[in-house]
Amino acid sequence: MIKHNSSLGRRSLLFSLILFCGTILLVSASIVAQPPSPRSVLGFTPADDRTIADWTQIRDYFTKLDAGSGKVKVQEFGKTTLGRPMIVAFISSEENIKNLDRYREMNQKLADPRRIPEGGIYDQASTILDNGKTIVSISCSIHSNEIVGSQMSMNLAYELATSDDVETKEILENTILLLIPSSNPEGIDIVASWYRKTLGTKSEGTVPPELYHHYAGHDNNRDWFMLNLKETQAITKLYWQEWFPQIVFDVHQMGQTGPRFVIPPFYDPPNPRIAPSIVREVGLIGYKMAADLQAKNIKGIATNTTFDMWWHGGFRSAPYYHNSIGILSEAASAELMSPVTITKEQLQRTRPARGLNSPLENVISHPDPWEGGVWSPADINQIEIVASRALLQMAAKFRRRYLENFYQLNKKDLMLDGSVPKAFVLIAGQPNTEAISRFLEILRWQGIEVHEMTHELWVKHSPEEEFHEIPLGSFLIFTDQPQKRNVLSLL
C-alpha cells in the first residue's frame, strides 16, 4: 500500500513537475511573442499632450517591437548627416516578413519589365502579379517641428502588429509596408531636446532656434532630384534601387489656422511628365482618406488646395517620375506636443489659399469646416492613423490592380516614343569633369541608366546638316528605359 502510494506520489510529483515546467515554457513563450505597446516601453502613449519621444526612444521602441512580433522587421538602411542610424520598419504578415527578399525581387521585375523573360512555358509577369504584394512606404516628420508623425508612427506600427480584425489582416496579407518613423532623425532630437528644455516655460511649444537639419533646414524636402543630403541618398537608394514602392506617403504638418488636414487630389497644375493615370490614382487615395475621415465625423478635411503636382524636388513628388503614387498630407499643427486653442476669429482672419478661400468655407473640396476649439497632438495622431489605414486598405484591396498599373506603365516607358529625344548626350572633353561625374552619380543613384560610348557616333540634327562626330568617352542617357519620365523631367 505504502509502496504503491509512494510510487503514485512520485509519479504525480513528476507529472506536476512536467506540468509546472510546461507552464513556465508556455509563459515564457507568450512573453517572447508579445509585441510591446509604446506605453510599456516609453512610459507614455505617443502623441499624448506634453510627451515627446526622441530618436533613441523611437528606435528603441521599434527594435523591441521587432523582437516581440513576427510581423515587424526593422532594418538600418543608412546614416544621417551627423551619423545617426536611419531605420525602416517592414510591417506585413509573418509569412511575408519571412519572404521579404523574394517579394523585393518580384517587385524589382515589375519596376523593370526587361527582367521578365518574354514567352516560355509560363507567363512570369502574371505569376508576379498574382503573388506579389503592394509595396507601400509611409514616412514621417522630414520637417522635424511637424513632430506628431514621428510619434504616430509607433502607434500605427503597434496597431498593425496587434490588431486581428479582418481589415488589418487583409492589409498585412496583401501589402508590405516600409514605415520610416522619421526621414530626418537629427531634427527629431533637436526638437525633442528643445521641447523638453522649454516645457513649462513661456517658450513651451515654440520652434527651436536652430535649423533642424544640419545643412538644409526646411529645404531637406527640396533635395529629391539633386540628392545632396545623406538622408535623401539613403532613402532614394531604398526606394529606387531596392524596393520600388507603388505608393509613397509623406506625412507633414502646416500652420495652425488653416483646414485641419489637406490631402489629394492636389491643386493645378500637374506636370505633363507624370503619367495621367498616376494623377488619378493620387486623387483616388486622397478621396478614400477624406471619405474615411468624414465617416468618423472629423471636420476640416480639405482636398484640391494649396499643393500642386508640378515640381520634382519633394518626398512625395519625386516618386511620380518612377510611376509611383506619391501622397502628401498636411495636418494643422498644435504647438509641437502641446495643445493649442484656435478661435473662430483666428480662422476668419486666415489668408485665402489656392483652391480654398477660407478654412470656414463650405465647398465640395471642403464640405465640413472646423470652427475652432482645442487642437491637440492626439487629434493629429488620430487623423494620420485614419488616413494611413485608408491608404493601406486601398493598397490591400486593389493589390493586383496597383501592381498591374505599375508594371504596364513601366513597360510602356520602355517603348521608343517619337515625340521625345531618343537619348541625351554628355559630350566627352568638357571642362569641370568633377561636376560631370557628380551629375552622373546623382542620376545613377535614382536608378537612371547611363551608358559610356565605346564606339564612335556620327549624328546630324537635320537632313541638310553635315554629320558631326560625338567623341568616344561621351555618355548617353537613353529615354527608352524604366526611368524615362524621370530622365525627361530632369533633363
According to DSSP, the residues that pair with 85 across neighbouring strands are 79
Q: How many CB atoms lie within 10 A of CB 452?
A: 12
Q: Please report how close the Cβ of residue 265 comes to Zn ion at its closest, in angstroms.
A: 19
Q: Please report how close the Cβ of residue 307 comes to Zn ion at its closest, in angstroms.
A: 10
What cell numbers appear for 188 in the block? 527629431
Q: How far apart are CA 408 and CA 342, in angstroms?
A: 47
Q: Please report how close the Cβ of residue 46 comes to Zn ion at its closest, in angstroms.
A: 19
Residue closer to Zn ion (CB basis): 143 or 484: 143
Q: Please report how close the Cβ of residue 330 comes to Zn ion at its closest, in angstroms.
A: 7
According to DSSP, the residues that pair with 335 across neighbouring strands are 338
Whether residue 369 contacts residue 359, with contact meaning beta carbons closer than 8 Å, is answered with yes
Q: Please report how close the Cβ of residue 282 comes to Zn ion at its closest, in angstroms.
A: 18
317-338 burial, b at 16+ Cβ within 10 Å, e below that, comes to bbbbbbbbbbbbbbbbbbbbbb
Residue closer to Zn ion (CB basis): 133 or 252: 252
Residue 356, φ and ψ in degrees, nearest 5: -150, 115
Residue closer to Zn ion (CB basis): 217 or 471: 217
Residue closer to Zn ion (CB basis): 84 or 252: 252
Q: Please report how close the Cβ of residue 143 comes to Zn ion at its closest, in angstroms.
A: 3
Residue closer to Zn ion (CB basis): 141 or 481: 141
Residue closer to Zn ion (CB basis): 225 or 315: 315
**Residues 6+ away with beta carbon under 8 Å from 136:** 175, 176, 177, 178, 245, 246, 247, 248, 249, 391, 392, 395
Q: Please report how close the Cβ of residue 354 comes to Zn ion at its closest, in angstroms.
A: 17
Q: Please report how close the Cβ of residue 139 comes to Zn ion at its closest, in angstroms.
A: 11
* Contact set with Zn ion (CB under 5 A): 143, 146, 252
Residue closer to Zn ion (CB basis): 113 or 286: 286
Residue closer to Zn ion (CB basis): 329 or 393: 329
Q: Please report how close the Cβ of residue 235 comes to Zn ion at its closest, in angstroms.
A: 15
Whether residue 251 contacts residue 150, with contact meaning beta carbons closer than 8 Å, is answered with no
Q: Please report how close the Cβ of residue 303 comes to Zn ion at its closest, in angstroms.
A: 18
According to DSSP, the residues that pair with 329 across neighbouring strands are 251
Nearest to 327 by CA among 437, 401, 250, 395: 250
Q: Please report how close the Cβ of residue 391 comes to Zn ion at its closest, in angstroms.
A: 18
Residue closer to Zn ion (CB basis): 66 or 146: 146
Residue closer to Zn ion (CB basis): 92 or 184: 184
Residue closer to Zn ion (CB basis): 42 or 336: 336
Residue closer to Zn ion (CB basis): 147 or 347: 147
Q: Please report how close the Cβ of residue 344 comes to Zn ion at its closest, in angstroms.
A: 26
Q: Please report how close the Cβ of residue 246 comes to Zn ion at its closest, in angstroms.
A: 23
Residue closer to Zn ion (CB basis): 146 or 384: 146
